[in-house]
């Protein structure tokens, strides 16, 4: 049997937006997400070095603080999904942006305690917790909002464009964060975290709201069971993203390779390029087939970073990682969306993204331990092996047709 016949077919088409109409409907949501996530992109190259250098924390503490955001996001996915389904996806996104802005206040509050690093770290950790609450609402709400506007047969495109917004924000936010930190210190980063999400509110307020979904929804644990297999694929694939965000800046510092913000930019540019050029493929060819190829590319990129002895090779490895991960997310995600009943769409997207949170929440502190024992470069070897395991999930999905698909 051919791969195309084994892979689950694209989502059943229903009359909905297509082509340019899909893009136009998703553009304002994606732009609002992009602006909101600039704050997280700004923190990527700055926060690990601030914790390790200015506050003198170990790599394990760095991993714990970075990973805390993903753990809290995991714990709030069910709440965020139910909030979006019952009270409206637009309200979920708007509330999330306000909460993200408030995390900057806690970052500011940590500054008077720099001379007492333990207190400062605890306040920063609370800021990461608040940030996670906002991120959970924005991601879950925007995915449900987008799918509600353009139809579930365009679920891959929704994930592609929201993903472009998120990782484009990471790519652009990284050099902005380095610039603010160089000229205004960590206080500049904190103030930017407060102000930038408020701009996204102006855009989100102009997008039509959707009526809340029907009151009868599946329990979160049941939805989690429906998306379990593609979710496991996402969890393994996301380890590569986790080691990039948490440890590429430390790798560059350890090897005296200069400004690590260009590595985040390389990741973001490759990620966006893959989404723009090939983001339609999961809907067209089936998610499992696309995920299969994508995780091979991502694993190869991580192994290249581990092997690299120059910045050029390292940048190439980061770019390959970004390119592969870019399509792994919607690849596994389309397989998850096929299994979701429409009245629990936001909960299902929250359940799927929860596997990303599980992955990053566990991988970041574990990678910190590995870095402390065997060197920072070793985390990229471990990440490459972990991502390679997601290949097994993609192969299984090729031969397993989804059940319980419901049309919108």
Report which of residues 105 and 67 the model is more confident about. Answer: 105
Phi and psi at residue 204, in whole multiples of 5°? -60, -30
Residue 3: pLDDT band (50, 70, 90) is very low
Report which of residues 92 and 260 the model is more confident about. Answer: 92
Residue 388: pLDDT band (50, 70, 90) is very high
- The answer to whether residue 221 scores a pLDDT higher than 80 is no
171/165 Cα distance (integer angstroms):
10
Residue 269: pLDDT band (50, 70, 90) is confident
Residue 115: pLDDT band (50, 70, 90) is confident
The verdict on domain 18-398 having CATH code 1.20.1250.20 is yes
- The answer to whether residue 406 scores a pLDDT higher than 50 is no
pLDDT digits (tens, 9 = 90+) for 184-220: 888 999 999 999 999 998 888 888 888 776 555 667 6
Buried b or exposed e, range 63-86, using 16+ CB within 10 angstroms = bbbbbbbbbbbbbbbbbbbbbbbb
Distances from the Cα of 100 to the Cαs of 126, 200, 393, in angstroms?
Answer: 12, 11, 34
User: pTM score, two decimals?
Assistant: 0.71
What HEC string does the chain produce?
A: CCHHHHCCCCCCCCCCCCCHHHHHHHHHHHHHHHHHHHHHHHHCCCHHHHHHHHCCCCHHHHHHHHHHHHHHHHHHHHHHHHHHHHHCHHHHHHHHHHHHHHHHHHHHHHHHHCCCHHHHHHHHHHHHHHHHHHHHHHHHHHHHHHHHHHCHHHHHHHHHHHHHHHHHHHHHHHHHHHHHHHHHHHHHHHHHHHHHHHHHHHHHCCCCCCCCCCCCCCCHHHHHHHCHHHHHHHHHHHHHHHHHHHHHHHHHHHCCCCCCHHHHHHHHHHHHHHHHHHCCHHHHHCHHHHHHHHHHHHHHHHHHHHHCCCHHHHHHHHHHHHHHHHHHHHHHHHHHHCCCCHHHHHHHHHHHHHHHHHHHHHHHHHHHHHHHHHCCCHHHHHHHHHHHHHHHHHHHHHCCCCCCCCCC
Q: Among residues of the chain, what percentage have pLDDT more than 90?
A: 33
pLDDT digits (tens, 9 = 90+) for 322-356: 999 989 988 998 888 777 776 666 777 778 878 88
Please report, for the chain, the start and end positions of each structural domain, with discontinuous segments joined by +. Answer: 18-398
- The answer to whether residue 362 scores a pLDDT higher than 90 is no
Quote the pLDDT of residue 315.
Answer: 94
């Amino acid at each position: 049997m051919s791969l195309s016949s084994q892979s689950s077919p694209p989502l059943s088409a229903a009359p909905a937006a297509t082509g340019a109409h899909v893009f136009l409907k998703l553009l304002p949501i994606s732009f609002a997400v992009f602006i909101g996530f600039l704050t997280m992109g700004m923190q990527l190259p700055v926060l690990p070095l601030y914790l390790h250098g200015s506050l003198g924390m170990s790599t394990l503490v760095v991993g714990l603080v970075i990973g805390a955001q993903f753990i809290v996001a995991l714990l709030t996915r069910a709440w965020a999904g139910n909030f979006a389904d019952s009270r409206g996806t637009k309200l979920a996104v708007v509330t999330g942006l306000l909460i993200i802005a408030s995390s900057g206040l806690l970052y500011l509050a940590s500054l008077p305690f720099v001379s007492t690093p333990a207190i400062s770290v605890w306040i920063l950790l609370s800021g990461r917790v608040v940030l996670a609450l906002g991120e959970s609402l924005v991601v879950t709400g925007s995915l449900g909002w987008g799918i509600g506007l353009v139809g579930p047969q365009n679920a891959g495109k929704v994930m592609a464009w929201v993903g472009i917004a998120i990782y484009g924000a990471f790519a652009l936010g990284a050099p902005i964060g380095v610039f603010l930190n160089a000229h205004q210190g960590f206080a500049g980063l904190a103030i930017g975290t407060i102000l930038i999400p408020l701009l996204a509110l102006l855009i989100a307020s102009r997008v039509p709201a959707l009526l809340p979904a029907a009151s009868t929804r599946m329990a979160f644990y049941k939805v989690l069971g429906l998306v379990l297999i593609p979710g496991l694929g996402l969890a393994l694939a996301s380890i590569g993203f986790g080691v990039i965000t948490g440890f590429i800046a430390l790798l560059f510092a350890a090897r005296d390779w200069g400004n690590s913000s260009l590595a985040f930019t390389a990741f973001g540019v490759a990620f966006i390029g893959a989404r723009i050029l090939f983001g339609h493929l999961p809907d067209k060819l089936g998610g499992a087939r696309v995920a299969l190829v994508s995780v091979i590319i991502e694993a190869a990129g991580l192994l290249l970073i581990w092997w690299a002895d120059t910045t050029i090779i390292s940048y190439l490895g980061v770019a390959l990682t970004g390119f592969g991960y870019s399509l792994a997310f919607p690849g596994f995600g389309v397989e998850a969306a096929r299994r979701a009943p429409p009245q629990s769409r936001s909960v299902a997207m929250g359940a799927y993204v929860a596997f990303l949170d599980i992955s990053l929440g566990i991988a970041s502190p574990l990678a910190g331990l590995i870095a402390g024992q065997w060197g920072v470069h070793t985390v990229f070897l471990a990440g490459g092996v972990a991502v390679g395991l997601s290949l097994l999930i993609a192969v299984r999905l090729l031969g397993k047709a989804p059940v319980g698909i419901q049309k919108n």
